[in-house]
């Protein structure tokens, strides 16, 4: 009795302290409150047991005995409540989840209360141990302890890696408490009596739990910050793990068998049965261990189901995407980044990318820390066929050890250039849907022999798919660019053919007309105008042909002067209406090629003239707005509807019928190139405004600073 | 008195050289649809050469075909020769189905155009 008093007394004191500490400070935190309640319930129960142990013999009433039994059950219920509250925070709260938790808690409550009623029913005198040892009550206790361990397992599994550091002590502590109860009651169930020593130790065991809980609380300071901040659990899936149930079930079956044999067959048979069981278990274990196939399968199964994932997939995935999509300067091309994104997953120091070419062969593309070499694999070689059909990551170690593992899936021959490289480790296919774009050969990690398993393979395969889609997208973009260039050249040449044809036509008419009219001065005048017309067209052609080239000589130009020039060009042939120039700021400088800028603006003005009746008006405005010079060409012409602006105006070389020359598309391209933009506003039958925003020259400040202005004013006053 | 011909083209060089090149005709010119219709109403020429790409749609054919329709509506017996630089030969079909006498693709060879116009005038005279 003396040991029992000390044991449970210690437990009472520690739980009481823990419970009181938990009640201090903020109380708006549900898990904290539940922990306080559970601790105090434990303290009450322990205290009752202690009191019973110390003075039980002196008492005549069974009231205390009853309440002790009930308090134990209440304590269990309080811990369940705490664990369930913790478990609920582990999952993204949804109504369904909340509902499930409520149902679970209600079920447990009904069970515990039922057990309490059973205990009350049983209380009809007799000693404490006999009473507890009633079979049905024992089973209830057993089930409660198993339930506690199951919830602990769910909690542990659904806690993120970061928080396990802090919370593992909580799980070990509370789990230990329930595990000990399980041990105690299974033993009691087997031998139909509660073992005195085990019972006495129970107080100490429970007392040991308290410091563990305290460590957990200290490490998880967030507890005091309110429920919202309990972002302890980051589990994305609600997974029910059944390891505990399996383990507990197996243990109970063994205990049960053992117990029945011992009881029914007598001591002699008991030993025989025990030895047989043990030997059979060792035999099975040995068979399993020595069969590599079964062992490998078992390993995969155990890895998959019982151990944590080797990778933090969220992290890995973010890293893969980051490596693939960010040009960090360290690697030149996407192709190198594709190799790196795969290599870093398994700490490989380098790799070689082999891509499918237009001719159907697979040729070496880029390499990263891999001695470059020229490789060519035909698409119907067994190696390529195996990769693209099986979509398998080939581990060369595995292949060398046991080629059958691969060849039973299909014929496979590792090419010499891979097998001769001792550092080559893995071959990862890059699959785009069912088509293999290429593959990556990865080098072995020098630091340590890494164990390659299904998980590496799965991740590499998926990462390979991701890399493949990036590579395919890149290729498509490249193809699009070259197709666009082709189209541009095609359209440009069609345009040139058209214009040259027109000019040749006109000039040959001049020649044939000259044979009849060469003595007529009026014809000579007209012929000269025709020739001049052709020269203008040829000049525009030249501008167009040069267009896009970087041969521009850019220097600061005064836009006001330039606009005057452009207007002069547009009105030389007597074209109406004559644009009105309105330079709101005289001194507006931009950095551009003078001829191209002038041709572009002239083009916009000509457009306006074409669209406007001779009686209409065109206004060209120049002003400054922030960092930009704004050139506005406003006409009162017929305007354009929205669909025309949207669909046709900015189409490059929309049609080859072209006295228009360079096209609005090219004007916009040029303005973009200068860092500006081109806006169009148009109302049908009212008119159109083209607005060019061109960045001001950097030297603007020196030519237009207030100081100079001030001087000018000063000079003016002098005059 | 030589027959009148209306030359509709937005290219000044074209108009000028056709004026000098077509012999035996009194040449009237126009550079847009509205101008062409004005000139047509003023002179009632039996013959017209018509460029399809007129402002503002110099790159397309809408103005040219609109002019063709407007002229034939006023005087269906007029012989219109469409002279176009368009590479799209479908325009020839559209021109003929809209009542043009002939489709003549640029570049212009004066002798051949002269021949086409003579045929058109002969057709006009036999019809009237």
Query: Which of B10, B53, B106 has the CB atom closest to A505's CB atom?
Result: B106
Q: How far is A522 from chain B (nearest CA, A)?
A: 10
Cβ of A498 under 8 Å from any chain B Cβ? yes
Q: Please tell me the predicted confidence (pLDDT) of residue A407.
A: 83
Percent helix / strand / coil, chain A, rounded to 5? 65, 10, 25
In which element (H, E) is residue B37 found?
helix B33-43
Q: For an interface test with A, give the residue of B7, B17, B57 to mutate (most A CBs within 10 A).
A: B17
Contact assignment for B20 to A573 by CB distance below 8 Å? no
Q: How far is B61 from chain A (nearest CA, A)?
A: 9
Q: How far is B128 from chain A (nearest CA, A)?
A: 32
Distance between CA atoms of residues B99 and B68, nearest Å:
8
Count Cα atoms within 13 angstroms, Cβ side, for A456: 19
Contact assignment for B58 to A638 by CB distance below 8 Å? no
Give how far the C-alpha of residue A13 lies from the chain's centroid of Cα atoms, to the nearest Å.
50
C-beta neighbour count of B102 within 10 angstroms:
19
Query: Which of B59, B87, B107 has the CB atom closest to A505's CB atom?
Result: B107
Residue in chain A closest to B59 (alpha carbons) equals: A657
In which element (H, E) is residue A514 found?
helix A454-517
Domains in chain A with CATH codes: 2-237 (1.20.1070), 313-471 (3.30.450.40), 551-703 (3.30.565.10)
Sort strands A618-625 and A580-583 into parallel, antiparallel or unpaired.
parallel
- Give the pLDDT confidence of A578-615 residue by residue, as tens digits: 888 888 887 888 888 887 888 888 888 888 888 888 88
What's the token pair of residue A311? 């990778």
Q: Does domain B4-127 have CATH number 3.40.50.2300?
A: yes
* Domain boundary assignment for chain B: 4-127
Residue A103, CA distances (Å) to A111, A245, A481 in order: 12, 20, 62
Cβ of A611 under 8 Å from any chain B Cβ? yes
Longest Cα–Cα distance of chain B, Å, equals: 38
Residue in chain B closest to A609 (alpha carbons) equals: B56
Distance between CA atoms of residues A49 and A52, nearest Å:
5
Q: Please tell me the predicted confidence (pLDDT) of residue A719.
A: 42
C-beta neighbour count of B96 within 10 angstroms:
13
Which residues does chain B have within 8 Å of residue A654's beta carbon, measured at their own beta carbons? Answer: 59
Q: Is the dihedral of CA A528, A531, A535, A536 positive or negative?
A: positive
Q: Please tell me the predicted confidence (pLDDT) of residue A352.
A: 92
Give how far the C-alpha of residue A2 lies from the chain's centroid of Cα atoms, to the nearest Å.
62
Parts of chain A with a pLDDT under 50: 126, 223-244, 289, 331, 548-551, 654-661, 700-719
Q: What pTM, to 2 d.p., does this model score?
A: 0.41
Name the nearest CA neighbour of B84 among B114, B56, B54.
Answer: B54
Distance between CA atoms of residues A223 and A232, nearest Å:
9
Distance between CA atoms of residues A173 and A185, nearest Å:
18
Alpha helices of A56-160 — where are they, by DSSP H?
63-90, 95-122, 128-132, 135-157
Distance between CA atoms of residues A287 and A428, nearest Å:
34
What torsion, rounded to 10 degrees, do the Cα atoms A359, A363, A367, A373 define? -140
Residue B41, CA distances (Å) to A31, B28, B35 in order: 97, 12, 10
Distance between CA atoms of residues A138 and A187, nearest Å:
10
Cβ of B9 under 8 Å from any chain A Cβ? no
Q: How far is A386 from chain B (nearest CA, A)?
A: 52
Contact assignment for B87 to A526 by CB distance below 8 Å? no
Residue in chain B closest to A654 (alpha carbons) equals: B59
Q: For an interface test with B, give the residue of A493, A509, A660 to mutate (most B CBs within 10 A).
A: A509
Q: Please tell me the predicted confidence (pLDDT) of residue A433.
A: 87
Query: Are the CB atoms for A616 and A577 separated by under 8 Å?
Result: yes
Cβ of A510 under 8 Å from any chain B Cβ? yes
- The CA-based angle B118-B100-B106, given to 5 degrees, is 70
In the numeric block, the tokens 């938990």 are attached to A22
Q: How far is B52 from chain A (nearest CA, A)?
A: 10
Name the nearest CA neighbour of A186 among A133, A112, A149.
Answer: A133
Distance between CA atoms of residues A543 and A603, nearest Å:
12
Q: Please tell me the predicted confidence (pLDDT) of residue A533.
A: 84
Query: Which of B20, B87, B108 has the CB atom closest to A505's CB atom?
Result: B108
Distance between CA atoms of residues A239 and A661, nearest Å:
69
Contact assignment for A506 to B106 by CB distance below 8 Å? no
User: What are the φ/ψ torsions at residue B13 (nearest 5 degrees)?
Assistant: -60, -40
- Give the pLDDT confidence of A60-93 residue by residue, as tens digits: 566 677 778 888 888 988 988 888 887 776 665 5
Q: Please tell me the predicted confidence (pLDDT) of residue A241.
A: 46
Distance between CA atoms of residues A445 and A130, nearest Å:
65
Query: Are the CB atoms for A43 and A8 separated by under 8 Å?
Result: no
ipTM: 0.83
Name the nearest CA neighbour of B86 among B59, B63, B113.
Answer: B59
Distance between CA atoms of residues A127 and B81, nearest Å:
126
Which residues 52-81 of B are in CB contact (within 8 Å) with A? 52-53, 55-56, 58-60
Contact assignment for A502 to B110 by CB distance below 8 Å? no
Which residues does chain A have within 8 Å of residue B108's beta carbon, measured at their own beta carbons? Answer: 505, 509
Parts of chain B with a pLDDT under 50: none
Cβ of B13 under 8 Å from any chain A Cβ? yes
- Give the pLDDT confidence of B27-61 residue by residue, as tens digits: 999 988 889 999 999 999 999 999 988 877 776 78
The order of strands in the sheet holding A687-695 is A580-583, A618-625, A628-635, A687-695, A677-683
Q: Please tell me the predicted confidence (pLDDT) of residue A234.
A: 32
Instruction: Kindly provide the b/e burial profile for residues A64-88, where b requires at least 16 CB atoms within 10 angstroms of the residue's own CB.
Output: bbbebbbbbbbbbbbbbbbbbbbbb
Query: Are the CB atoms for A227 and A89 separated by under 8 Å?
Result: yes
Distance in Å from the first CA to the final CA of chain A? 121
Which residues does chain A have within 8 Å of residue B14's beta carbon, measured at their own beta carbons? Answer: 502, 505-506
Cβ of B99 under 8 Å from any chain A Cβ? no
Distance between CA atoms of residues A49 and A11, nearest Å:
10
What is B50-108 written as a DSSP string? Answer: E-S--TT-TTSSHHHHHHHHHHHHH-TT-EEEEEE--S-THHHHHHHHTT-SEEEESSP
Supply the Cα-derived Rg of chain A in whole angstroms: 44
């Amino acid at each position: 009795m003396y040991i029992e008093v000390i044991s449970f007394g210690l437990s009472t004191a520690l739980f009481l302290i823990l419970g009181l500490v938990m009640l201090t400070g903020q109380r708006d935190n549900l898990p904290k409150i539940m922990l306080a309640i559970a601790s105090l319930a434990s303290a009450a129960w322990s205290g009752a047991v202690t009191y019973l142990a110390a003075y039980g013999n002196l008492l005549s009433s069974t009231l205390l005995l009853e309440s002790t039994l009930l308090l134990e059950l209440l304590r269990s219920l309080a811990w369940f409540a705490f664990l369930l509250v913790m478990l609920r925070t582990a999952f993204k709260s949804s109504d369904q989840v909340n509902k499930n938790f409520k149902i679970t808690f209600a079920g447990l409550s009904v069970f515990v209360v039922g057990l309490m009623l059973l205990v009350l029913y049983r209380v009809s005198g007799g000693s404490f141990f006999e009473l507890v040892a009633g079979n049905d009550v024992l089973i209830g206790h057993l089930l409660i302890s198993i339930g506690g361990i199951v919830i602990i397992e769910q909690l542990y599994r659904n806690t993120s890696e970061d928080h396990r550091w802090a919370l593992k002590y909580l799980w070990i502590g509370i789990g230990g408490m329930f595990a000990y109860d399980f041990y105690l009651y299974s033993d009691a169930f087997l031998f139909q009596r509660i073992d005195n020593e085990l019972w006495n130790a129970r107080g100490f065991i429970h007392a040991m739990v308290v410091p563990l809980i305290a460590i957990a609380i200290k490490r998880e300071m967030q507890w005091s910050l309110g429920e919202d901040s309990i972002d302890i659990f980051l589990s994305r899936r609600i997974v029910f793990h059944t390891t505990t149930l399996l383990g507990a079930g197996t243990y109970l079956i063994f205990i049960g068998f053992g117990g029945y044999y011992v009881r029914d067959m007598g001591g002699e048979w008991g030993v025989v049965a025990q030895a047989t069981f043990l030997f059979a278990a060792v035999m099975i274990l040995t068979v399993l261990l020595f069969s590599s196939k079964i062992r490998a399968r078992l390993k995969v199964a155990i890895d998959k189901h019982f151990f944590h994932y080797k990778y933090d997939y969220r992290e890995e995935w973010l890293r893969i995407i980051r490596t693939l999509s960010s040009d960090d300067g360290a690697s030149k091309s996407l192709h190198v980044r594709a190799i790196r994104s795969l290599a870093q997953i398994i700490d490989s120091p380098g790799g070689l990318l082999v891509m499918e070419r237009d001719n159907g062969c697979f040729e070496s593309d880029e390499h990263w820390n891999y001695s470059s070499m020229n490789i060519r694999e035909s698409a119907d070689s067994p190696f390529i066929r195996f990769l693209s059909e099986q979509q398998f990551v080939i581990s060369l170690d595995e292949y060398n050890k046991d080629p059958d593992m691969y060849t039973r899936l299909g014929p496979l021959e590792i090419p010499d250039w891979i097998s001769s490289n001792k550092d080559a480790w893995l071959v990862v296919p890059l699959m785009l849907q069912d088509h293999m774009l290429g593959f990556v050969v990865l080098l072995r990690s020098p630091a340590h022999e890494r164990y390659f398993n299904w998980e590496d393979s799965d991740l590499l395969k998926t990462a390979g798919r991701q890399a493949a889609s990036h590579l395919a997208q890149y290729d498509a973009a490249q193809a699009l660019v070259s197709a666009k260039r082709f189209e541009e050249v095609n359209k440009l040449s069609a345009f040139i053919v058209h214009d040259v044809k027109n000019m040749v036509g006109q000039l040959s008419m001049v020649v044939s007309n000259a044979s009849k009219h060469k003595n007529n001065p009026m014809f000579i005048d007209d012929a000269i105008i025709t020739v001049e017309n052709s020269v203008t067209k040829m000049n525009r052609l030249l501008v167009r042909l040069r267009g896009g080239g970087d041969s521009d000589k850019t220097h600061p130009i005064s836009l006001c002067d330039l606009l005057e020039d452009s207007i002069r060009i547009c009105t030389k042939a007597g074209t109406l209406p004559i644009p009105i120039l309105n330079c709101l700021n005289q001194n507006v400088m931009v950095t551009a090629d003078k001829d191209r800028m002038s041709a572009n603006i002239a083009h916009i003005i000509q457009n306006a003239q074409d669209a406007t009746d001779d009686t209409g008006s065109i206004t060209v405005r120049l002003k400054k707005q922030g960092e930009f010079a704004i050139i506005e060409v406003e006409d009162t012409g017929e305007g354009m509807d929205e669909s025309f602006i949207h669909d046709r105006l900015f189409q490059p070389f929309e049609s080859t019928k072209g006295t228009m020359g360079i096209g609005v598309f090219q004007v916009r391209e040029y303005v973009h190139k200068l860092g500006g933009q081109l806006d169009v506003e148009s109302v049908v039958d009212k008119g159109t405004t083209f607005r060019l925003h061109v960045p001001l020259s950097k030297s603007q400040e020196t030519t237009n600073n207030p100081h100079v202005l001030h001087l000018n004013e000063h000079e003016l006053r002098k005059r | 008195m030589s027959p009148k011909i209306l030359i509709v083209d937005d290219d000044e060089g074209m108009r000028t050289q056709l004026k000098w090149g077509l012999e035996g005709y009194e040449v009237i010119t126009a550079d847009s649809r509205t101008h062409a219709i004005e000139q047509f109403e003023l002179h009632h020429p039996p013959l017209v050469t018509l460029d399809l790409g007129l402002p503002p749609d110099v790159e397309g054919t809408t103005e040219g075909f609109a002019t063709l329709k407007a002229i034939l509506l006023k005087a269906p017996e007029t012989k219109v020769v469409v002279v176009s630089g368009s590479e799209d030969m479908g325009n020839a079909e559209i021109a003929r189905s809209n009542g043009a006498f002939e489709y003549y693709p640029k570049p212009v060879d004066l002798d051949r155009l002269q021949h086409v116009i003579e045929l058109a005038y002969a057709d006009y005279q036999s019809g009237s």
